[in-house]
Amino acid sequence: MRDSSAIDILIEKLSLYPAIKLERVNEVCLKIYGDETGYDFELHEGLKEYLLYFGNSHGHYNKAQDVQEMLRDIFFGLSGVSRIKEVLKDGKHYEWVTQSQDSEGNWFDNEKVSILGFSFWRKSAPVIEERYYQNNLLPKEVALAWCK
């Protein structure tokens, strides 16, 4: 019998919240569905690391060192403590920013992923649009308690 994986831990913890929909695709893949204003997660377990997809971003987490950080990121993402800001230029997806909220309600950028190849030399200013994706499936207190 193998040791409990992060996937097993997530299934155990998140099954307490019926609003959260989980799908165990196979032994090494778990999908966690976000709400209508949020984003989904997909977790893959490899030999030495976990690969977590969230929104249009992803993160690598070392199985020996980073599991608690990864679980925290998932709990934060499900509770609304974290969100994804999507930036569009002239209607085209351009940038995704993972943001976290502090205890006073202020948002701070964590990581940014951008697509290169825009015509930066053009004369007219591009039309910028921002969209925010934020789940509210877990009470924030649950996510914050996970960090302690």
Using alpha carbons only, what angle is made at residue 91 by residues 88 and 97, rounded to the nearest 5 degrees?
15
The tokens 């925010």 sit on which residue? Answer: 132
Q: Using an 8 Å Cβ cutoff, are 58 and 51 in contact?
A: yes
Domain boundaries, the chain: 6-79, 82-134
| Choice between 146 and 27, residue whose per-residue pLDDT is larger | 27
52-76 pLDDT, tens digit per residue, is 999 888 899 999 889 999 999 999 9
| pTM score, whole prediction | 0.86
